[in-house]
Structure 1
Amino acid sequence: MFTIITYSLQLNCNITQDEGCDISYAKFANCYNKQISQDSKLQFCESLKQLLSIIQTCDTCDVTSTMDQVLNTGGLINLPTRKSAGNAITDCKNKLACNRINPLETVSQIYESVDLKEAGLVTTPRAQGNCGSCWAFGTTAALENSMLHDKSHYTGTIWEQNNYDLSELYLVMNSQNSSYCKGGNFITAINEYDLGSVLKTVELEINFVYTTWITEQSKFGVSKYTPKIQLSDYTLPYKQYKVFDGQVSTDTGLIYIYLDSYNTFTTKARKEIKSYLSRGIVVVGTMAAGFSNSFPHYSGKSWTGEACPCSKYPEGTSNYIVCIQKYMDHQITFVGYGKKNGVDVWVVRNSWSSGWGAGGNFYVPIGSNAFCIETTALTVIPKYYDASAGVYANIGSHSRGSSTELDSDSAQLILNDGSYIGMPNKLPQWATVLIVIGSIAGLIIIISTICCCVNRKKRGYELQQQTNVVQTVPAVQQRFNGGGRTL
């Protein structure tokens, strides 16, 4: 008689695959301290059903705290058409697509790993909810980063409190050229800040709390928010550059690093992005999130990635172009890079709350173009940034046992040894000569020591052999003599 033993897959919160949704939801609510409701339960059960259908083939999937919520991946509208003009790729005629090509030189020595969330240069990710406002979260992340980078320069009545948690709702409600919960993009948002007609300043989250956006839907396109901060505290926390596209001259803060829907980041672009991150400056990007069944269930335990849905189309064909336009749906922010489980990855900030993924962030293998994430790189430069300053102090090479390995997301700087990639600065000639002489002398000593040890060992072996012969010969003679024979 045979006994068949079956094992039930166990997930986070001790949820198993065969216990039924009622039991699983009760465990989930207790695990994440959730307020129980019928709507929450229905959403959780739908998410759990989807998770169980893919869990056998998805190493990075698990139960997460957001499974009772709708995770909106929409909200990115097409980026404006662009044309080249001098040192900028720009279209300033309508004042909504002006930008400056990267004005900063690539840093010759960059950190081996960077995690800006651990260095306090980005705030804790919040959830965009069932609203296509990822564009506002990506924009606000860049603006917050600029203020956190330059906080020693903000000494106004509110900024001296070091409160740089900015309001996404203020941006969502006041952007005239985005579509609120139906979409927008970082390019249009920064250009609107540059224009200063309605978006005259950044605002504090405590003045316009994002969770109220549902009650404000009736005001979309009707009412704009008036800033609550004092006029003396109005702030646009980034540098602006003069650009000219042949028709219009204007100031813009939008910095172009890379934008190509049909090709992935070049080696040069990756170096520039890493240079910005080593300077402590975030980079805003785009991705295709909605096509993936596994992405909403990302557990944060390892890196994640799915092939860009456009990779199956030949580059340059009409199908390829349609595919790109269809799937690019989500604005995200690059906040670091390093190794995760031995894989070179980008650290990417999402807008689905801190309970999703790795503290609200996820890891994508560098060079994989997973989720089409290596197609867009834009940013703003902090207003008081000194271009000659090089890398930002005390943000890089976070490690536990390695200067390249990212840590376990404890939101603290760990073993920051400041290690660099690249050759060290050139030494003075006298120092170089001393190093060479010392190296040669050391090599001579090592060789002499080895030779000496070898000679001693050889002499000891020969002496032992002689002793053995002396002891052995008489015995041989005796044995043969006893037989009446001599050698």
Structure 2
Amino acid sequence: MFGLIISLQLNCNITLDEGCDISYTKYSSCYNKQISQESKEIFCESLKQLFILVKHCETCDITSMMDIKQNFGLVSLPTRKQAGNSITNCKNKLTCNRINPLDTISQIYESVDLMEAGLVNTPRSQGKCGSCWAFATTAALENAMLHDKSYYTGSIWDINNYDLAELYLLMNSQHSSYCKGGNFITAINEYDLGSTLNTIELETNFPYSSWTTEQIKFGVSKYTPKIQVSDYTLPYKQYKVSDGLVSTDTGLIYIYLDSYNTFTTKARKEIKSYLSRGIVVVGTMAAGFSNSFSFYNGRSWTGEACPCSNYPEGTSNYVNCIQKYMDHQITFVGYGKKNGIDVWVIRNSWGSGWGAGGNFYVPIGSNSFCIETTALTVIPKYYDKNAGVYSNIGSHSRGGSTQLDSDTAQLISNDGAYTGMPNKLSPWAIVLIVIGSIAGAALLVSTICWCVKHKREQPQQQPNVVQTVPAVQQRHDNGGRTL
């Protein structure tokens, strides 16, 4: 068994029996990485961790994140306890929102992958910067434009493939902390306020890279838009809302936000309705507590219990623990089955070389990585609320090693049901179960054989048995078989 583990071949043709120098050379070439002593040291430490994990972690492999120290970048969101049943607080105009204005769709696609349908762009990597919030926000804004493509034909957005600038958002958000973190709620409210974020911008005008973020993080200054004023755009609907004291316009749509409890059946149905409409949903997760998440290979679903899930839900210990670990903002871009399990398709911001083309799968209803606590979005500016499901997003070819399971592309009832997640057992538990099963089977066979032999040797003059179990006697008489 040990020999099999040592000879295991990983991504980039890396094996566990070669030195770190050789592995790092292969890794750098495989992912087109710039070689440096710092990244090599990080990679070598990650490789040691992977060598331990891969012995019992079937979803672990070499990934593009192994030379980067994790810095996720989510800052705290308002909690239900702080803000009542919604997060509406228009007084400071930074947590204002509209409760979901769209009806739940009763018939939805069997599975949806908005990346496959061309309604989200290929994921880029946030690199060393804690800018996940900017990537999730930009993903939602790009999705709104791709959804309304026909309204932007021939525009600068169309010509530039609806590729928007995360760096422009990073630089111009006054209420986020640049590479130290931010969140989708604040970002959309800042766009609504229109002070330093009065438009989206093009990636070609403000290209994002680890180098640019590293160079400017100690001297951040606001960027002036390079596009013409006539091209200034906010590609989502805005709604008039009020908290009783202040009225304002907001594009932030609240579906679910509750640190005490995970998604309800109603919330799951609403999220699936948005995805079937072709609209992404922004969420949060606890990524940093896991020692295997960054090594996820994308060929199966992944999941780990929410930190401190042993505390009863609703207690202060449980809530504080969850908030402590919530460190990453992500985007729901689909749902369906993966290896027979109902899963969410989640878009990450670690580049397309990680996971399943930059995405990962988490079992629905499991709250793995605390991922079922937040659901927010924006609605595309030209969306017709009576439009129903988006055409041709549920009929794509699936079934590959990093794709959802194939399906019939039919519409199904949106009842919020899901296939329960199977329990993952440790290798030792599996061994004990197998040994126990074999031993049990052997004992059963031995017992049956003894009973048969014993019965054949006994004279059949036990009327009390016939009287007690007449059904057995009848089966013996008619079937001609000794039990």
Aligned to 1:41: 40
Kept after mapping to 2: 8 A contact 1:77/1:185: yes
Aligned to 1:480: none
How big is each residue's C-alpha offset from its partner over 1:171-200, in whole Å with a ceiling of 9 and x where there is no partner? 011000111111111000000000001100
The code of the aligned residue for 1:300 comes to G
Kept after mapping to 2: 8 A contact 1:100/1:243: yes
Aligned to 2:57: 58
Q: CA deviation at 1:124?
A: 0.9
Superposition map of 1:198-277 within 5 A: 198-211=196-209, 212-220=212-220, 223-277=221-275
Aligned to 2:110: 112
Kept after mapping to 2: 8 A contact 1:99/1:243: yes
Aligned to 2:312: 314
Deviates more, 1:8-17 or 1:233-242: 8-17
The separation in 2 between residues aligned to 1:84 and 1:46, in whole angstroms, is: 44
Aligned to 2:91: 93
Q: Normalising by the residue count of structure 2, what TM-score does the alignment of the two structures yield?
A: 0.81
The separation in 1 between residues aligned to 2:206 and 2:238, in whole angstroms, is: 26
Structure with greater Cα Rg: 1
The code of the aligned residue for 2:394 comes to G
Which of 189, 192, 204 aligns to 2:190? It is 192
Aligned to 1:446: none
Kept after mapping to 2: 8 A contact 1:398/1:407: no
The 1:132/1:418 distance shift into structure 2, 3 A limit, reads: same
Q: CA deviation at 1:339?
A: 0.6
Q: CA deviation at 1:143?
A: 0.3
Which of 395, 412, 422 aligns to 1:421? It is 412
Which of 297, 300, 319 aligns to 1:299? It is 297
The code of the aligned residue for 2:110 comes to E
Aligned to 1:141: 139
Give structure 2 stretches of 5+ with no counterpart. 415-483
Superposition map of 1:238-387 within 5 A: 238-387=236-385
The code of the aligned residue for 1:258 comes to Y
The separation in 2 between residues aligned to 1:164 and 1:317, in whole angstroms, is: 44
How big is each residue's C-alpha offset from its partner over 1:423-463, in whole Å with a ceiling of 9 and x where there is no partner? 9xxxxxxxxxxxxxxxxxxxxxxxxxxxxxxxxxxxxxxxx
Q: CA deviation at 1:285?
A: 0.1
The code of the aligned residue for 1:239 comes to K
Kept after mapping to 2: 8 A contact 1:241/1:252: yes
Q: Is 1:10 the counterpart of 2:9 in the alignment?
A: yes
The code of the aligned residue for 2:319 comes to I
* SS class of match (2:217): helix
Identity in percent: 77
* SS class of match (2:137): helix
Q: CA deviation at 1:319?
A: 1.4
How big is each residue's C-alpha offset from its partner over 1:393-452, in whole Å with a ceiling of 9 and x where there is no partner? 01114344xxxxx544579xx9886410039xxxxxxxxxxxxxxxxxxxxxxxxxxxxx
The code of the aligned residue for 2:217 comes to Q
Q: Normalising by the residue count of structure 1, what TM-score does the alignment of the two structures yield?
A: 0.80
Q: CA deviation at 1:162?
A: 5.5
Q: CA deviation at 1:35?
A: 3.9
Deviates more, 1:278-287 or 1:6-15: 6-15
The 1:15/1:155 distance shift into structure 2, 3 A limit, reads: closer
How big is each residue's C-alpha offset from its partner over 1:291-314, in whole Å with a ceiling of 9 and x where there is no partner? 000001001111000000131112
The separation in 2 between residues aligned to 1:243 and 1:389, in whole angstroms, is: 24
The separation in 1 between residues aligned to 2:18 and 2:66, in whole angstroms, is: 17
Kept after mapping to 2: 8 A contact 1:395/1:416: no
Q: CA deviation at 1:322?
A: 1.6
* SS class of match (2:191): helix
The code of the aligned residue for 2:177 comes to S
The separation in 1 between residues aligned to 2:274 and 2:320, in whole angstroms, is: 32
The separation in 1 between residues aligned to 2:406 and 2:16, in whole angstroms, is: 40
The code of the aligned residue for 2:412 comes to I
Superposition map of 1:129-168 within 5 A: 129-155=127-153, 157-161=155-159, 163-168=161-166
The 1:415/1:362 distance shift into structure 2, 3 A limit, reads: closer
The separation in 1 between residues aligned to 2:238 and 2:24, in whole angstroms, is: 50
The separation in 2 between residues aligned to 1:367 and 1:399, in whole angstroms, is: 26
Q: CA deviation at 1:217?
A: 1.4
Q: CA deviation at 1:33?
A: 3.9
Kept after mapping to 1: 8 A contact 2:95/2:185: yes
Kept after mapping to 1: 8 A contact 2:286/2:371: yes
Kept after mapping to 2: 8 A contact 1:303/1:362: yes
The separation in 2 between residues aligned to 1:70 and 1:237, in whole angstroms, is: 34
The 1:40/1:126 distance shift into structure 2, 3 A limit, reads: same
The separation in 2 between residues aligned to 1:346 and 1:5, in whole angstroms, is: 36
How big is each residue's C-alpha offset from its partner over 1:74-103, in whole Å with a ceiling of 9 and x where there is no partner? x11111355358xx6510000000000100
Q: CA deviation at 1:10?
A: 2.4
Aligned to 1:20: 19
The separation in 2 between residues aligned to 1:162 and 1:105, in whole angstroms, is: 33
Aligned to 1:452: none
How big is each residue's C-alpha offset from its partner over 1:119-141, in whole Å with a ceiling of 9 and x where there is no partner? 11001111111111111111000
The code of the aligned residue for 1:83 comes to A
Aligned to 1:482: none
Aligned pair count?
408
The separation in 2 between residues aligned to 1:84 and 1:322, in whole angstroms, is: 17
* SS class of match (1:284): strand
Kept after mapping to 1: 8 A contact 2:70/2:128: yes
The 1:32/1:385 distance shift into structure 2, 3 A limit, reads: same
The code of the aligned residue for 2:58 comes to D
The separation in 1 between residues aligned to 2:319 and 2:43, in whole angstroms, is: 36
The 1:70/1:80 distance shift into structure 2, 3 A limit, reads: same
Q: CA deviation at 1:58?
A: 1.0
Deviates more, 1:17-26 or 1:168-177: 17-26
The code of the aligned residue for 1:288 comes to A
The 1:213/1:391 distance shift into structure 2, 3 A limit, reads: same
* SS class of match (2:360): strand
